[in-house]
Structure 1
Amino acid sequence: MLLATPAHASDEINIDHVESANGKVSVLLAVDKLPGGAAPDLESLVVTVDGDVVDASAKTVEAGEIERTTVLALDTSRSMRGAPIEDAKAAAKAFLDAAPDDVKIGLLTFSGTVQGTIEPTTDHATLANAIDDIELTLGTRVYDAVVNAVDLAGTDGARNVLVLSDGMDQGGGAPIEDAMAAATDQKVVVDVVSLDQRPANRALLSKISDASGGSVIDAEPEALKGVFTAQADALASQVLVTFPAPQKSVPEVNLGVRLTAGNSTYDDSALVTIAVADAGPQPVTHAKSKVGKNAMLLGALALGLGLAVVLGIVMMGAKGQSEAQRRVSAYLGEAKTGAKGKRSGEPAPTSIKESAVALTENFVKGDFEQRLNKRLAGAGLSLTAAEWLLIHAGVAAAAGLVGLILGGGAVMVVFLILGAVVPYLYLKRRHSKRLAAFNGQLAETLTLMAGGLSAGLSMPQAIDTVVREGQEPMVGELRRVLIEQRLGVEIEEALDGVAERMESEDFSWVVMAIRIQREVGGNLAELLTTVATTLREREYLRRQVQVLSAEGRISAWVLGALPIVVFLYLLLIRPDTARVMYTEPLGIMMSLAACVLLALGFTVMSKLVKVEV
């Protein structure tokens, strides 16, 4: 269906609405302004399209032939109190009684805000009850009312808005330009009933009505009923003109209508757009793209760079492990068996994964690589620093792509940040859990080692006993100690490596105690038993503190995460609502202030519930 811009001339007949569908053009013709209420001679109707006469027929509009919608927008500000509002209610109900039954009528009341709306309906009795319940409040925002009334009128059929107001817009809402644009863009006729308005106020209302093809009607409170009844009678007297759609397609045609009433002939014309009869399937209107042109160009550039990097990786190839590295990996049990039974340390055909890892290793060096490898080992992950960074980057890129698909550029940035942060938090959490399990097993491990030493075993033999009878993660770390000791590393140095990897202060004290015993002598079994007792009491106290502070820690996490989760929810479900927080200057300032306060509050609550044992 194609809608045409309504044409309202100052003549006695007016083309109110034109629509074209299924090879037929329907025209609503207003004839309520004929002099003396003369009845039009429908047999005398002549319709021309670009000067060519077409075969047309005319009749009074019947229910279901064409959709007609009217929205009543009533001013309910305090200035309407007393007789004006009562006259307005009576006039609105008179409009409901006089309007044809097939006309859908909606209701909107406004003062300082748009307060109540009822969707257009043919149940006029329900609207009458709602009119009786109208209450007055402060303020007048006419332009907001026009914008909302136009939206309420919908998009189908002949639509018009009838506004009643006794004052000028007091500002603070939509400007008059928005009201004019809403009416013209949606092709909705806006008629304004001006109640005791000053000339300056009337001129402003005329801008809206003139832009939409409507008019401003001056009225006194006691004359409102007659004005509204006349508007309803105009709907009842509309004539429906139909004729076949033209066979040729042109951007606009000059549509002319001429008929006779009494002894006079009246005509009207308008430039309209009409769909041709053989137009075929109409083009599909797609939703607005979530990604702008610049974002698409950046995405294409990123894709090209990614393909170039992959190509460079494949061409560079992987160096593979040295002979010494393969032997140590096999001895430590870290070599993995490939799909064809080969060890990963053996020379194998270069894959993209191996090439990518080899390339990443060129950039991951020095202290950063050592610290990251130590954290990975402490977390129990058999990954190198280069492999972890590749996985980390892949998760961030995948998260950004998902965000781009779900909500466009803003959601992509948020998901990209989450993709960069979540793997780090996962590694930290895994290391913390493994450290907690390690410290929890430490007291029992020392007791078992002390028993072995009391039975005459050496330190390596006592550790081997724990390896054979203990549990992870203690078993894995002590197994590595034995392997390093067999490769020539001092037992104390190997144990120090465990303390560094696990970042366990308790185990550092154990190693220190063993070093002191080696230097000054003494009963090591008794020393380990004493240390085990102390650590057992510390672990009990640590768990007590965790239980007592659990409520505070959970509160800190919930209160810290709740604003972020709500923002992400709005960003996905209601992006227009969330967009204000990062596009408008005030919204950006509020977002930054919220982030600062949120970080400060989370830090304070974390400090309050964190107790060192």
Structure 2
Amino acid sequence: MNLLQLLLIVLGLTGAVAMVWAAFAGPSPKKESTRRLKQVRFRHSDNAVERVEMQMRKAVAARRPRTYQVAGSSSRIEALALRLHRTGKGWTLQQYVWTSFGLFALVGLLVFLKSGAPLLALVVGVFAGAGLPHVVVNYLIKKRNTQFTVKFADAIDLLVRGLRSGLPVSETLGIVANEVPGPVGEEFKLITERIKIGKSMEDALQDTANRLDMAEFSFFCITLAIQRETGGNLAETLANLSDVLRKRAQMKLKIRAMSSESKASAYIVGSLPFIVFAMIYWVNSGYIGKFFLDERLMVAGLGGLVWMSIGAFIMAKMVSFEI
């Protein structure tokens, strides 16, 4: 056994011990005691600021979105149905499954007829059938969330004007549902319909917050919950929230503009291998045609694709900022 093998064994054992310790180690006693002391101080404090902070912590904890279990097919089906609902297109699970299967069969058959390599046809077919619908759904969800965010501040301003004119909150929600177009009006219409059939306003808002999973709407729900428990001028609170949301949107646009050069470079670098491959195949198909016949070349190509995917994922995370 040489020195390199011994060093690898020592590093492996050290990593295994560290993972076991991290898995079974409990929370830090110092952090736990600090957290409990803070809870006691907030609970028995006479300071209005600390009482509001405690109410906000309770509201946030009570309004965390429901998480689906990892195990079990029913939970995954519910998560997929929720994603399809967020697109706003009214697609069903059956349509999504049949579309994925159709893409898998069509793309796999075309690749097999062109290359004669069943392994390559299977991999490309699975990638197309599972990846393309997922990408399209993500794009539509992001597009609808952007439309919602653009109009949501205006909807809150309309709520503020209705409250200042003396209307109750439930009636102003109905006005927003009728006056604001797009996803905002659709979601507020669902909220008013739930209230009409007997649900409380908090439950109706929380159902929408769980389905949308957007920070802006969660801020709105938390603001209403804190106001109902602590009192105060709701119109002024919502006006401040509208101003915060507009500044948040402006900051997102500023970050988007600053990171656009890096994103463009990543798109160009990531697409160059595929463009060069397509150009060479178009000019001289016999030169690169062995790529679809030799299994070693296919394995090397798939390995390169995996590493490129990892690099693209890292670059996407580097230019992604949470506000």
1:546 aligns with 2:256: yes
1:144-543 map, 5 Å: 366-409=74-117, 412-413=121-122, 414-543=124-253
Alignment match of 1:577 (pick from 288, 299, 308): 288
Question: Normalised by the size of structure 1, how large is the TM-score?
Answer: 0.38
TM-score (normalised: structure 2): 0.69
Computing the radius of gyration from Cα coordinates, the structure with the larger value is 1
Counterpart residue number, 1:563? 273
Cα contact 1:435–1:503 (8 A) shared by 2: no
Whether the 8 Å contact between 2:116 and 2:293 is mirrored in structure 1 is: no
**Offset at residue 459 of structure 1 (A):** 1.6
| Cα deviation digits, residues 16-52 of structure 1 (max 9, x gap) | xxxxxxxxxxxxxxxxxxxxxxxxxxxxxxxxxxxxx
Which of 1 and 2 has higher RCO (CA within 8 Å, sep 6+)?
Answer: 2
Superposed CA deviations along residues 174-224 of structure 1, whole A, max 9, x for unmatched, are xxxxxxxxxxxxxxxxxxxxxxxxxxxxxxxxxxxxxxxxxxxxxxxxxxx
Equivalenced residues, count: 249
SS at match of 1:477: helix
Distance apart, 1:487 and its partner CA: 2.0
Displacement of 1:596? 4.1
Report if the CA contact (8 A) 1:407-1:571 is conserved: no
- Work out whether residues 156 and 238 of structure 2, in 8 Å CA contact, stay in contact via their aligned partners in 1: yes
Structure 1 residues 495 and 568, CA gap change in structure 2 (3 angstroms): farther
Instruction: Report deviation, 1:498.
Output: 2.2
Deviation at 1:513, TM superposition (A): 0.9
Which stretches of structure 1, 4 residues or longer, exceed 6 Å deviation after superposition?
none
Percent of matched pairs sharing the same residue: 27
Higher strand residue share: 1
Q: How far, CA to CA, are the matches of 2:292 and 2:95 in structure 1?
A: 37
Q: Using the TM superposition, give the Cα deviation of residue 582 of structure 1 relative to its aligned residue in structure 2, in angstroms.
A: 6.8
Shift of 1:563: 2.2
The alpha-carbon distance between structure 1 residues 579 and 500, as it changes in their structure 2 partners (threshold 3 A), is: farther
The partner residue of 1:605 within 308, 311, 315 is 315
Q: From the superposition, tell whether residues 500 and 558 of structure 1 become closer, same or farther in structure 2 (CA, over 3 Å).
A: farther
Counterpart code for 2:231: G
User: 1:567 deviation in Å?
Assistant: 4.1
Q: Provide the residue aligned with 1:260 in structure 2.
A: none
The CA deviation at 1:496 is 2.0
Assess if the C-alpha contact under 8 Å between 1:464 and 1:482 holds in 2: yes
Which residue identity lines up with residue 316 of structure 2 in the other structure?
S
Aligned equivalents of 1:542 and 1:473: distance in 2?
Answer: 20
1:565 offset after TM fit, Å? Answer: 4.7
Q: Provide the secondary structure at the position in 1 that maps to 2:190.
A: helix
Q: For residues 384 and 584 of structure 1, what CA distance do their matches in structure 2 show?
A: 39
Q: What letter is aligned with 2:222?
A: M
Cα 1:365/1:452, change in 2 over 3 Å: farther
**Distance (whole Å) between structure 2 residues aligned to residue 566 and residue 422 of structure 1:** 22
Q: Report matched runs for 1:137-148 at 5 Å.
A: none
Instruction: Return 5+ residue gaps in structure 2 as ranges.
Output: 1-71
Q: CA RMSD in A?
A: 2.5
Contact 2:116 2:292 survives alignment (8 Å): no
Unpaired stretches in structure 1, ≥5 consecutive residues: 1-363
Secondary structure at the aligned position of 1:522 is classed as: coil
CA 1:566–1:498 in structure 2 vs 1: closer, same or farther (change >3 Å)?
farther
Aligned-pair CA distance for 1:423? 0.9
Q: Does the CA contact (< 8 Å) of 1:453 and 1:459 recur in 2?
A: yes
